[in-house]
């Protein structure tokens, strides 16, 4: 008997061959089922640029008519992309979601727009990033919170930025150009251009000034955020 009976089945040549066949088949399904510019579902979008792809499988997808995707965009598998409160809802803004050229959204991410989410060019994210311009209310104690909608606010992520794994971008966030948002950070307001922000809520810890990246005091972050607030 093997010293590793729990994994002996991995050495079975029949199982190995079957596994190879299944993996090859799944890879083919993933390639064929991805939504590209010529795909029937791409025609439902407000715009769907050349060389763009929404990878298979998709977790949730609706409100495509209010979503505009630029060229060379890749949205990873198991992601959600929705415009409006629910399928069939007619939003009061068009587009609700706009994604610029060359942007890459990581696996398992969610972009949920009710009014306005604008993502610039060449924005890259890690896996499991969540971006939304909507929130739930809680004021009516006789109604489940899940059925209450709070006040939303537009979200903007400017070009050339990077959002780390698990970052969350909430209503009213405005991330400037060439910004790093650290893994797990929660962005609730303005983050100035050419900066690095981390934490919950996200705060600027580095900025590009006078040709170099410098550390930022907490007071300086508050002042910069206040200057960006309308």
Determine the Cα–Cα distance for residues 34 and 14; give it in Å rounded to an integer.
31
Model confidence pLDDT, tens digit, residues 174-191: 999 999 999 999 999 999
CA angle 169–182–213, rounded 5-degree value: 120
In the chain, where the domains are located: 33-228
80 and 61 in contact (C-beta within 8 Å)?
yes
Strand arrangement of the beta sheet that strand 60-62 belongs to: 60-62, 80-83, 110-113, 130-132, 168-169, 186-187
Whether the pLDDT of residue 219 is over 80: the answer is: no
Q: Which CATH number fits domain 33-228: 3.30.360.10, 2.160.10.10, 1.20.1250.20, 3.30.1490.20?
A: 2.160.10.10
For residue 9, the model assigns a pLDDT of 58
Reference 200, options 182, 220, 185, 221; nearest CA is 185
Model confidence pLDDT, tens digit, residues 88-98: 888 888 999 99
Residue 25: pLDDT band (50, 70, 90) is: confident
First and final C-alpha spacing in the chain: 72
State the alpha helices, DSSP H only, in the chain. Answer: 13-33, 218-228
Residue 19: pLDDT band (50, 70, 90) is: confident
Question: Structure tokens of 159?
Answer: 């070009």
183 and 174 in contact (C-beta within 8 Å)?
no
């Amino acid at each position: 008997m093997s010293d590793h009976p729990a994994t002996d089945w991995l050495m079975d040549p029949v199982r190995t061959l079957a596994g190879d066949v299944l993996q090859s088949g799944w890879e083919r399904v993933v390639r064929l089922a991805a939504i590209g510019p010529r795909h029937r579902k791409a025609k439902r979008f407000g715009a769907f640029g050349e060389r763009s792809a929404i990878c298979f499988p998709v977790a949730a997808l609706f409100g495509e008519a209010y979503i505009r995707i630029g060229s060379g965009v890749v949205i990873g598998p198991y992601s959600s992309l929705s415009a409006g409160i629910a399928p069939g809802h007619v939003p009061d803004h068009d587009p609700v979601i706009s994604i610029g050229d060359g942007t890459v959204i990581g696996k398992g991410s969610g972009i949920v727009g009710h009014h306005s989410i604008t993502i610039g060019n060449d924005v890259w994210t890690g896996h499991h990033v969540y971006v939304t311009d909507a929130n739930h209310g809680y004021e009516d104690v006789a109604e489940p919170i899940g059925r209450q909608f709070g006040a939303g606010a537009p979200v903007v992520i400017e070009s050339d930025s990077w959002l780390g794994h698990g970052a969350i971008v909430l209503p009213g966030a405005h991330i400037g150009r060439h910004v790093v948002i650290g893994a797990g950070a929660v962005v609730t307001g303005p983050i100035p251009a050419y900066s690095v922000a981390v934490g919950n809520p996200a705060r600027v810890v580095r900025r590009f000034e006078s040709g170099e990246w410098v550390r930022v005091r907490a007071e300086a972050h508050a002042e910069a955020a206040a200057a960006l607030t309308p």
